[in-house]
C-alpha cells in the first residue's frame, strides 16, 4: 500500500452487519483496491434482530432476512470459511482451508455467538436451541409452529424475553428461568426489571426468578428441566438464552489483545496488541470490539448493539483509508432497542453505569415512561418505554454530561420526578443474562477482575 | 437592519413571496434571536429539532405569559396540548385513521385520490389559462378530507368560510385587529363544532364508514372522545387536513414551473416523485413556523429563554440551514439524507403527513404531463396573508 | 431508476458519511448476481419464488434511529406493522408489488431509517 491508502489489499474477517457496512463504506470513501470478506456462515450478510421477532412470530422465514446493501461493495466473498489465525508480521489471515490471505489492512468483525448450554451432552438433546444464527431461528420457528406443550427459556435478558414474548403471542405456554431477581435487570436495573417481570406475568409467562436450571432432561429428546429450587419444568422445547460469547478464539496465538470481553481497540478502532501497543493496520468493529469511551470515564465498553456495529464499521472504514490526523473517533452514544410484550424499549447511554434513577416522564402504571440514569451527579443513560420521541432530548443530556437529576419542567412529569432512587444494577455474576452493554474495566460500585488478553 | 425586527419583517406581507433571505439573516444572527417584544425566534436546524424534542417545551398557548399572556380560554385541540393529555387525545383520534388500529386506511384511499386528480386535471388543456389553486390544489384535498371525515360535499362552502376565519386567527404577526379576529374565530369554531356534532349524532349507531362514524361509535369508553373533544379535534382535522395540502401542491407547481429542468427530470422519471415531494417539503414547505413556550427557563446554545416566553420555531428556515443541508437553496429531488422538518418532529409531527404525501404525489403526478408548455402568468403570484401557513392565494398559469 | 438504496442508514445529523454517495450509480452490477437461499417464503406469502434471475428487494430499518412515527406503516401497511404503540415489525423481503410503496416509505421516513436495496451479490465461490 505504499503511499496510497485508497489502494491495496483489504481483508475483512466477519461477514455480518459490521463487515458488510464496513465493506460498503470502504468503497463509498473511494477505496479502489482488492477487498476480501471472510465469513464462517455460508450466507451473505443477514439481519439478526428479526430472528427473535418476525421469524419466531411466523411472519417471516429465517432465510429471508438478508441485509440490503447501500451499494455493491465489489468484494470477493469467502463464505462458509473459517479464519483460524492472523500472522501480524507476515500480514496474513490464515483460513481453515490452509490458504492464507495477505492483507495491507485488516478489519476484524467476527462478532459473537450464542453462549452454549454448559453441559454438551444435554445441549444436544433434540428440542434444545440457542438463538443467534439463521439456522437456529429456522429450527426454533419450525418447532414453535408445530405447537409444543411448553417452551422453557433459560435466561431473562433481551433475547430470552423476546423469545418468551413471541411464544405468548403465538399462544404457547412458556416458562422463563432467570437466576437474577427479574428479567432485564442486568441491562436496565431494578425498577425496569420489576416492570419487565410484571409485563411477563401479565402476559401469562410462568416466570421463575432467583433460580438456575441445574439439568436438562430427556432421552434423545428434551422433556424438561430441573431447577435449583428443587422444582421441575415439563417442556418439550428449551431455548438457552444465556448471552453471547465473543468470537476471539481464532486470535489466541495472534498477539492481539483478544480476550473473553472482546478485542481491545482505541477510539479509532485500531486494535491493541497484547502489550497494549496500538497496531496501525488491524482494525476492529462491532460486537467483538472493546473500546474506550470518553463519556464513561474512558473505560472500555463492550456492546452488543446493532447501531454500534453500523457506526463503528463506518468509523473503522474511514480510518483504514485515512492517515492519522484525518482519522475519526468512534464516539457514538451507545443505544439499543427491544420490542416485547407489546412495549417498545429503547435505551441510550450505559444504564449499568449508574447509581440512581428517576422517572422523568410518564409512569410505570401507564406502561409509558422515560427513565433517566445518573452516576455521581451526572446523566449517564436514559431508557424509554413507548416514549421514543423523547429519547433525543435525553441523549443530548448524556452527550453534554448534564447534571443528574435532569432539569425540571418536563411535561407529563411523574410526581416522583424529584426523588432519585437507587438504580439497583446487580452484579452480572448473579444473573443468567448479561447486560448488552458492559463497562468492562470497572463498574461504578465494584472492581471487576481485569481480563487478561490472549 | 436590527435582528430584533426579524419576526416583524418575516410576517410583513410585503415579504411573503420570498422570506428566505430573512431566514438567512435570522440564522446569521444566532441560534436564538430575541425580538423587540421579548419573544424569541429560532432559525437553525439543530436548535429547532432539539426544541421540538424537548419535553420542557409546551405546545399549549395557555403556557404563555410573554410577550402577552394567552387570551384563549377554551381547550385547544391536541395539536396545541402537552402530554399526557395530548397523547391521550391524539391516540384516540388516530384510532380510525392510522396504525396501530387502522393501518390500511390512508393507503386504501390511493385509488380514489388518483382518480380525483385525473378528473381535476381534465381542465388542464393546451391554450387555456387556469388557476392552479382554485381549479386543482384546493378542490382535491377538500374533497378528500370531506370524504375521510364524512362531511357532505354540499356543505363544503360552509366549511370554507369557517376555515378562513379560524386560519386567520391562528396566524402570528402584528397586522389586523386581534380581538376582532379572535371573536370571529370563536364564533366559527362554535358553529362548526355544533355542525360536526350533529353530523356525528346522525352516525351514532348508523356508521357510514367515515372517521366521524368511527369516532362516535368507538366501543371502548376508555378511549372514546367526549363530545367536546370530538368537536374540537375534528375541526382540527378538517382544517389541518386540507389547508396545508393546498399550499404543498401549489408550491410544487410553482417550483417546477420556475425550474423547467427539474420539471423535465420528473416527467422523464416519475419514480423520483416520492423524493421530490420530500424535497418540496424541505424547500417550499406549507408550514413555515410553529410556536412553543418553555415551561421553565431553558438554555438554547448559550441564550437563556425565560419560562413562559413565546418561542417561534422557523421550520422553513431550519430546512434551509447550510449547516445541515448542502446547497440548501437548490431544489434537488435526488437529494440524499433529506431529513427535513417540513412536518415538524417529535410528538407533534404532523398527524396527516401520510395523507398529504399521497395527495401531493398523486397531484404532481397528474399535473406534470400537462406542464411542459405551461408558464406562470404572474411571478411571484399573489400570496395569502398568513405567514405561518404560507402559500399562493392564486397561481394563474398559461398552458 | 435507482434500484439500490433510498435512505442512508447512518445519516446521523450532519454526519459526513451520508452526504456524498448517491445510490443511483450502483444499479446494474447487482442484477443477476445474487445467490438466494433455496427456500422461499415471506411475511405475506405473496412473493413466492423470485422471478428467474432477478433478485428481490430487501429492507432493513435502523431501529436505533426509529422513533415510531409510523409513516412507513401508513404508506406500506402490508410491509410495515406497528406492534403495540411504537414497536415496528416489517417484512424483510419486500414483495415485488410492494416495492414502490416501500420506496415511498423510505423517502418519507422522518428519521431516514429505512434502507431498501438488494442483497449483496456474492457471486459463486
Q: What are the tens digits of pLDDT across the range B352-378?
A: 999 999 999 999 999 999 999 999 999
On chain B, the residues whose CB falls within 8 A of the CB of C21 are 336
Q: Residues A144, A233: one domain?
A: yes
Q: What is the DSSP string of A126-194?
A: BTEE--SSHHHHHHHHHHHHT--SEEEEE--SHHHHHHHHHHHHTT-EEEEEESSSSTTHHHH-HHHHH
* pLDDT tens, residue by residue, B177-191: 677 777 888 888 889
Cα angle for residues A101, A106, A108 (degrees, 5° grid)? 105
Rg (CA), chain B: 21
Chosen CATH of C1-11+53-125 out of 1.10.287.3510, 3.10.50.40, 3.30.70.20, 3.30.40.10: 3.30.70.20
Q: Are C116 and C7 in contact (CB under 8 A)?
A: yes
Tell me how close the Cα of A34 comes to any Cα of chain C, in angstroms: 15
* pLDDT tens, residue by residue, B33-90: 999 999 999 999 999 999 999 999 999 999 999 888 887 777 899 999 999 999 999 9
CATH of the domain at B131: 1.10.630.10
- The chain C residue lying nearest B335, using CA atoms, is C22
Using the beta-carbon criterion (under 8 Å), do C119 and A69 form an inter-chain contact? yes
| 3-state class (DSSP) for residue B236 | helix
State the ipTM, two decimals. 0.93
The residue range of the domain holding B132 is 3-398
Enter the DSSP assignment of B310: -
The chains in contact with chain A, meaning 3 or more Cβ pairs closer than 8 Å, are: B, C
- Of A271, A291, A326, the residue at which a domain comes to its end is A326
- Count residue pairs from A and B with Cβ separation < 8 A: 47
C-alpha span between B140 and A195 (Å, rounded): 48
Q: How many domains does chain B have?
A: 1
Enter the DSSP assignment of A256: B
Q: Residues A156, A14: one domain?
A: no
Going by pLDDT thresholds of 50, 70 and 90, the confidence category of residue C55 is low
Burial class (CB in 10 A: 0-12, 13-18, 19+), B51: buried
- How far apart, in Å, are the Cα atoms of B371 and each of A127, B269, B357, B367, B391? 65, 15, 20, 6, 20
C-alpha span between B103 and C98 (Å, rounded): 15
Q: Which residue has the higher pLDDT, A250 or C17?
A: A250
On chain C, the residues whose CB falls within 8 A of the CB of B349 are 69, 110
Share of chain A above pLDDT 90, in %: 87
Q: How many domains does chain A have?
A: 3
Task: Enter the C-alpha cell of residue B226.
Answer: 367526549
A97 touches chain C (CB under 8 A): no
On chain C, the residues whose CB falls within 8 A of the CB of B336 are 8, 11, 18-19, 21-23
- The chain B residue lying nearest A362, using CA atoms, is B84
Using the beta-carbon criterion (under 8 Å), do C111 and B339 form an inter-chain contact? yes
Going by pLDDT thresholds of 50, 70 and 90, the confidence category of residue C8 is very low
Tell me how close the Cα of C33 comes to any Cα of chain B, in angstroms: 24
Burial class (CB in 10 A: 0-12, 13-18, 19+), A99: exposed
CA B283 to chain centre: 14
A292-296, B352-356, C97-101: least confidently modelled range: A292-296
Q: Is residue A451 one of the residues assigned to a domain?
A: no
Q: Residues A106, A187: one domain?
A: no
- Candidates A401, A355, A209, C77; CA nearest to B107 is C77
Q: Which residue has the higher pLDDT, A440 or A161?
A: A161
What pLDDT was estimated at residue C9?
Answer: 30
B307 touches chain A (CB under 8 A): yes
C-alpha span between A318 and A312 (Å, rounded): 10
A73 touches chain C (CB under 8 A): yes
Enter the DSSP assignment of C65: T
Going by pLDDT thresholds of 50, 70 and 90, the confidence category of residue A298 is confident
Q: Are A269 and A21 in contact (CB under 8 A)?
A: no
On chain C, the residues whose CB falls within 8 A of the CB of A47 are 60, 92
Going by pLDDT thresholds of 50, 70 and 90, the confidence category of residue C122 is low
Helix (H) / strand (E) element for A381: namely strand A378-385
Helix (H) / strand (E) element for A35: namely strand A34-39
Other beta carbons within 10 Å of B134:
13
- Residue among A69, A342, A391 minimizing CB distance to C120: A69
Going by pLDDT thresholds of 50, 70 and 90, the confidence category of residue A435 is low
On chain C, the residues whose CB falls within 8 A of the CB of A74 are 29
C-alpha span between A271 and B17 (Å, rounded): 57
C-alpha span between B396 and B387 (Å, rounded): 21
Other beta carbons within 10 Å of A139:
15
Q: Residues A315, A342: one domain?
A: no
Going by pLDDT thresholds of 50, 70 and 90, the confidence category of residue C3 is very low
Q: Are A127 and A400 in contact (CB under 8 A)?
A: no
- The chain C residue lying nearest A45, using CA atoms, is C120
On chain A, the residues whose CB falls within 8 A of the CB of C32 are none
C-alpha span between A67 and C4 (Å, rounded): 12
On chain C, the residues whose CB falls within 8 A of the CB of B354 are 71, 74-75, 108
Q: Are A209 and A180 in contact (CB under 8 A)?
A: yes
Share of chain B above pLDDT 70, in %: 98
CATH of the domain at A421: 3.30.390.30
Using the beta-carbon criterion (under 8 Å), do B55 and A368 form an inter-chain contact? no
Tell me how close the Cα of B70 comes to any Cα of chain A, in angstroms: 19
What pairing do the DSSP bridges indicate for beta strands A437-439 and A442-443? unpaired
- Is 50 exceeded by the pLDDT of residue B279? yes
* pLDDT tens, residue by residue, B335-350: 988 999 999 999 999 9
Using the beta-carbon criterion (under 8 Å), do C73 and B269 form an inter-chain contact? no
Q: Is residue A237 one of the residues assigned to a domain?
A: yes
Tell me how close the Cα of B339 comes to any Cα of chain C, in angstroms: 6
On chain A, the residues whose CB falls within 8 A of the CB of B298 are 409
C-alpha span between A421 and A358 (Å, rounded): 6
Going by pLDDT thresholds of 50, 70 and 90, the confidence category of residue C26 is very low
Using the beta-carbon criterion (under 8 Å), do C104 and B336 form an inter-chain contact? no
Using the beta-carbon criterion (under 8 Å), do C66 and A28 form an inter-chain contact? no
| Strand-by-strand arrangement of the A128-129 sheet | A128-129, A237-240, A150-154, A173-178, A206-209
A187 phi, psi to nearest 5 deg: -95, -35
Q: Tell me the average pLDDT across A80-90.
A: 97
On chain A, the residues whose CB falls within 8 A of the CB of B295 are 409-411
Other beta carbons within 10 Å of A325:
5
Task: Enter the C-alpha cell of residue C21.
Answer: 454517495
On chain A, the residues whose CB falls within 8 A of the CB of B55 are 360-361, 370, 390, 393, 410-413
Tell me how close the Cα of B200 comes to any Cα of chain A, in angstroms: 30
- How far apart, in Å, are the Cα atoms of C107 and each of A368, B357, B393, C112? 29, 10, 29, 7
CATH of the domain at A233: 3.50.50.60
Q: Residues A228, A374: one domain?
A: no
Q: Are A141 and A55 in contact (CB under 8 A)?
A: yes
Q: What is the DSSP string of A191-254?
A: HHHHHHHHHHHHTT-EEEES--EEEEEEESEEEEEEETTS-EEE-SEEEE---EEES-GGGTTT
- How far apart, in Å, are the Cα atoms of A2 and each of A5, A8, A9, A102? 8, 8, 11, 15
A133-137, B170-174, C39-43, C82-86: least confidently modelled range: C39-43
Mean pLDDT for all residues in chain A: 92
Q: Is residue A384 one of the residues assigned to a domain?
A: yes
Backbone CA torsion sign across B45, A29, A285, A136: positive
What pLDDT was estimated at residue C30?
Answer: 30
What pairing do the DSSP bridges indicate for beta strands A9-13 and A105-108? parallel
Using the beta-carbon criterion (under 8 Å), do A64 and C9 form an inter-chain contact? no
Q: Residues A249, A106: one domain?
A: yes
Other beta carbons within 10 Å of B107:
18
- Residue among C9, C29, C68 minimizing CB distance to A310: C9
- Residue among B100, B277, B278 minimizing CB distance to C82: B100
CA A251 to chain centre: 20
- Candidates A140, A118, A141, A122; CA nearest to A224 is A122
Q: Are A411 and B307 in contact (CB under 8 A)?
A: no
Using the beta-carbon criterion (under 8 Å), do A393 and B84 form an inter-chain contact? no
Widest CA span in chain B: 61
- Is 90 exceeded by the pLDDT of residue A294? no
| 3-state class (DSSP) for residue C89 | strand
Going by pLDDT thresholds of 50, 70 and 90, the confidence category of residue C29 is very low
Q: Are C60 and C105 in contact (CB under 8 A)?
A: no
Tell me how close the Cα of B347 comes to any Cα of chain A, in angstroms: 6
Peptide bond into B67 cis (omega under 30): yes
Using the beta-carbon criterion (under 8 Å), do C11 and B357 form an inter-chain contact? no
Using the beta-carbon criterion (under 8 Å), do C107 and B323 form an inter-chain contact? no
**Residues facing residue C94 across a β-bridge:** C57
- Is 80 exceeded by the pLDDT of residue A204? yes
- Residue among B99, B269, B339 minimizing CB distance to C82: B99
The chains in contact with chain B, meaning 3 or more Cβ pairs closer than 8 Å, are: A, C
Using the beta-carbon criterion (under 8 Å), do A411 and B58 form an inter-chain contact? yes
Q: Are A247 and A261 in contact (CB under 8 A)?
A: no
What pLDDT was estimated at residue C51?
Answer: 37
Q: Is residue A269 one of the residues assigned to a domain?
A: yes
Burial A414-439 (b: 16+ CB within 10 A, else e): beebeebeebbbbebeebbbbbbbbb
Interface test with A, best of C19, C48, C87 (most A CBs within 10 A): C87
The residue range of the domain holding A126 is 115-243
C-alpha span between A28 and B167 (Å, rounded): 48
C-alpha span between B45 and B348 (Å, rounded): 17
Tell me how close the Cα of B233 comes to any Cα of chain C, in angstroms: 20
Task: Enter the C-alpha cell of residue C111.
Answer: 428519521
What pLDDT was estimated at residue C87?
Answer: 95
Going by pLDDT thresholds of 50, 70 and 90, the confidence category of residue A436 is low
C-alpha span between A435 and B167 (Å, rounded): 52
Q: Are A179 and A214 in contact (CB under 8 A)?
A: no
What pLDDT was estimated at residue B241?
Answer: 86
pTM attached to this predicted model: 0.90
Other beta carbons within 10 Å of A277:
9
Tell me how close the Cα of C69 comes to any Cα of chain B, in angstroms: 8
Task: Enter the C-alpha cell of residue A305.
Answer: 448493539
Using the beta-carbon criterion (under 8 Å), do A411 and B307 form an inter-chain contact? no
Enumerate the domain spans of chain C: 1-11+53-125
What pLDDT was estimated at residue A449?
Answer: 36
What pLDDT was estimated at residue A283?
Answer: 98
Using the beta-carbon criterion (under 8 Å), do C110 and B339 form an inter-chain contact? yes
Using the beta-carbon criterion (under 8 Å), do A411 and B82 form an inter-chain contact? yes
- Is 50 exceeded by the pLDDT of residue A348? yes
Can you point out the beta strands (E) in A286-342? 289-293, 299-303, 335-340
- The chain A residue lying nearest B301, using CA atoms, is A400
Tell me how close the Cα of C85 comes to any Cα of chain A, in angstroms: 7
Q: Residues A383, A430: one domain?
A: yes
- The chain A residue lying nearest C34, using CA atoms, is A44
Going by pLDDT thresholds of 50, 70 and 90, the confidence category of residue B167 is confident
Amino acid at each position: 500500500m505504499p503511499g496510497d491508502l485508497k489502494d491495496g489489499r483489504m481483508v475483512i474477517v466477519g461477514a455480518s452487519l459490521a463487515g458488510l457496512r464496513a465493506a460498503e463504506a470502504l468503497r463509498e470513501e473511494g477505496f479502489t483496491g482488492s477487498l476480501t470478506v471472510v465469513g464462517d456462515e455460508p450466507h451473505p450478510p443477514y439481519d439478526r434482530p428479526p430472528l427473535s421477532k418476525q421469524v419466531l412470530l411466523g411472519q417471516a422465514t429465517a432465510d429471508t432476512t438478508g441485509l440490503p446493501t447501500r451499494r455493491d461493495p465489489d468484494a470477493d466473498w469467502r463464505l462458509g470459511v473459517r479464519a483460524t489465525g492472523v500472522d501480524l508480521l507476515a500480514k496474513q489471515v490464515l483460513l481453515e482451508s490452509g490458504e492464507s490471505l495477505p492483507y495491507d489492512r485488516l478489519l476484524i468483525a467476527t462478532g459473537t455467538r450464542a453462549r452454549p448450554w454448559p453441559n454438551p451432552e444435554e445441549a444436544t438433546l433434540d428440542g434444545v436451541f440457542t438463538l443467534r444464527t439463521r439456522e437456529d431461528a429456522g429450527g426454533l420457528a419450525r418447532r414453535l409452529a408445530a405447537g409444543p406443550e411448553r417452551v422453557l427459556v433459560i435466561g431473562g435478558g433481551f433475547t430470552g424475553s423476546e423469545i418468551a414474548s413471541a411464544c405468548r403471542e403465538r399462544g404457547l405456554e412458556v416458562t422463563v428461568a432467570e437466576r437474577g431477581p427479574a428479567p432485564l435487570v442486568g441491562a436496565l436495573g431494578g425498577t425496569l426489571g420489576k416492570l419487565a417481570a410484571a409485563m411477563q406475568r401479565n402476559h401469562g409467562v410462568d416466570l421463575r426468578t432467583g433460580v438456575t436450571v441445574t439439568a436438562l432432561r430427556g432421552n434423545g429428546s428434551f422433556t424438561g428441566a430441573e431447577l435449583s429450587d428443587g422444582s421441575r419444568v415439563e417442556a418439550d422445547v428449551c431455548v438457552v438464552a444465556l448471552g453471547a460469547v465473543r468470537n476471539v478464539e481464532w486470535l489466541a496465538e495472534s498477539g492481539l489483545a483478544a480476550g473473553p470481553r472482546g478485542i481491545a481497540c482505541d477510539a479509532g478502532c485500531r486494535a491493541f496488541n497484547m502489550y497494549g501497543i496500538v497496531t496501525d493496520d488491524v482494525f476492529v468493529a462491532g460486537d467483538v470490539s472493546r473500546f474506550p469511551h470518553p463519556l464513561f470515564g474512558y473505560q472500555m465498553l463492550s456492546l452488543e448493539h446493532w447501531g454500534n456495529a453500523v457506526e463503528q464499521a463506518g468509523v473503522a472504514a474511514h480510518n483504514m483509508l485515512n492517515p492519522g490526523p484525518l482519522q475519526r473517533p468512534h464516539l457514538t452514544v451507545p443505544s439499543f432497542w427491544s420490542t416485547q410484550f407489546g412495549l417498545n424499549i429503547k435505551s441510550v447511554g450505559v444504564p449499568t453505569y449508574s447509581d440512581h434513577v428517576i422517572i422523568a416522564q410518564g409512569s410505570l402504571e401507564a406502561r409509558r415512561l422515560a427513565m433517566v440514569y445518573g452516576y455521581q451527579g451526572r446523566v449517564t443513560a436514559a431508557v424509554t418505554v413507548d416514549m421514543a420521541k423523547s429519547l433525543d432530548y435525553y441523549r443530548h443530556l448524556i452527550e453534554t454530561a448534564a447534571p443528574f437529576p435532569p432539569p425540571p419542567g418536563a411535561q407529563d412529569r411523574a410526581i416522583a420526578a424529584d426523588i432519585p432512587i437507587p438504580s439497583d444494577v446487580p452484579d452480572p455474576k448473579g444473573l443468567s443474562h448479561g447486560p448488552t452493554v458492559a463497562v468492562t474495566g470497572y463498574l461504578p460500585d465494584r472492581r471487576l477482575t481485569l481480563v487478561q488478553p490472549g | 437592519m436590527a435582528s430584533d425586527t426579524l419576526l416583524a419583517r418575516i410576517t410583513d406581507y410585503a415579504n411573503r413571496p420570498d422570506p428566505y433571505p430573512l431566514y438567512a439573516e435570522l440564522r446569521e444572527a444566532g441560534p436564538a434571536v430575541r425580538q423587540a417584544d421579548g419573544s424569541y425566534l429560532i432559525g437553525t436546524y439543530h436548535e429547532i429539532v432539539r426544541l421540538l424534542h424537548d419535553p420542557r417545551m409546551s405546545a399549549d398557548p395557555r403556557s404563555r405569559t410573554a410577550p402577552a399572556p394567552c387570551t384563549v380560554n377554551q381547550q385547544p385541540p391536541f395539536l396545541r396540548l402537552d402530554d399526557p393529555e395530548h397523547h391521550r387525545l391524539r391516540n384516540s383520534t388516530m384510532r380510525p385513521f392510522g396504525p396501530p388500529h387502522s393501518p390500511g386506511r390512508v393507503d386504501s384511499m390511493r385509488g380514489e385520490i388518483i382518480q380525483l386528480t385525473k378528473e381535476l386535471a381534465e381542465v388542464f388543456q393546451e391554450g387555456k389559462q387556469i388557476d392552479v389553486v382554485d381549479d386543482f390544489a384546493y378542490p382535491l384535498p377538500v374533497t378528500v378530507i370531506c370524504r375521510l371525515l364524512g362531511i357532505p360535499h354540499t356543505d363544503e362552502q360552509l366549511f370554507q368560510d369557517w376555515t378562513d376565519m379560524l386560519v386567520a386567527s391562528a396566524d402570528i404577526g402584528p397586522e389586523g385587529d386581534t380581538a376582532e379576529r379572535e371573536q370571529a374565530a370563536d364564533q366559527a369554531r362554535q358553529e362548526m363544532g355544533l355542525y360536526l356534532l350533529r353530523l356525528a349524532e346522525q352516525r351514532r349507531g348508523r356508521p357510514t364508514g367515515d372517521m366521524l362514524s368511527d369516532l362516535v361509535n368507538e366501543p371502548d369508553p376508555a378511549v372514546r372522545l367526549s363530545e367536546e373533544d370530538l368537536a374540537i379535534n375534528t375541526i382540527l382535522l378538517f382544517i389541518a387536513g386540507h389547508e396545508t395540502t393546498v399550499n404543498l401542491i401549489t408550491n410544487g407547481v410553482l417550483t417546477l414551473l420556475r425550474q423547467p429542468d427539474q420539471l423535465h427530470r420528473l416527467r422523464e422519471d416519475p419514480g423520483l416523485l416520492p423524493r421530490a415531494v420530500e424535497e418540496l417539503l424541505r424547500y417550499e414547505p406549507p408550514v413555515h413556523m410553529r410556536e412553543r413556550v418553555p415551561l421553565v427557563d431553558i438554555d438554547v446554545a448559550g441564550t437563556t429563554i425565560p419560562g413562559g416566553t413565546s418561542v417561534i420555531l422557523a421550520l422553513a428556515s431550519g430546512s434551509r440551514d447550510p449547516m445541515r443541508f448542502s446547497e440548501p437553496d437548490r431544489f434537488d429531488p435526488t437529494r440524499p439524507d433529506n431529513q427535513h422538518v417540513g412536518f415538524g418532529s417529535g410528538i407533534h409531527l404532523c398527524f396527516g403527513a401520510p395523507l398529504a404525501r399521497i395527495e401531493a404525489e398523486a397531484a404532481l403526478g397528474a399535473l406534470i404531463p400537462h406542464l411542459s408548455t405551461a408558464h406562470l402568468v404572474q411571478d411571484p403570484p399573489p400570496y395569502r396573508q398568513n405567514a405561518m401557513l404560507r402559500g399562493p392565494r392564486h397561481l394563474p398559469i398559461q398552458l | 431508476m435507482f434500484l439500490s438504496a433510498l435512505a442512508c442508514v447512518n445519516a446521523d445529523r450532519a454526519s459526513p458519511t451520508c452526504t456524498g454517495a448517491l445510490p443511483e450509480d450502483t444499479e446494474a452490477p447487482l442484477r443477476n448476481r445474487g445467490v438466494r437461499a433455496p427456500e422461499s417464503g415471506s411475511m405475506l406469502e405473496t412473493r413466492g419464488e423470485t422471478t428467474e434471475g432477478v433478485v428481490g428487494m430487501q429492507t432493513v430499518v435502523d431501529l436505533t434511529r426509529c422513533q415510531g412515527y409510523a409513516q412507513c406503516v401508513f404508506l406500506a401497511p402490508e410491509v410495515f406493522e406497528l406492534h403495540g404503540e411504537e414497536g415496528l415489525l416489517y417484512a424483510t423481503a419486500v414483495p415485488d408489488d410492494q416495492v414502490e410503496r416501500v420506496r415511498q416509505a423510505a423517502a418519507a421516513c422522518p428519521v431516514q431509517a429505512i434502507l431498501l436495496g438488494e442483497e449483496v451479490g456474492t457471486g459463486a465461490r
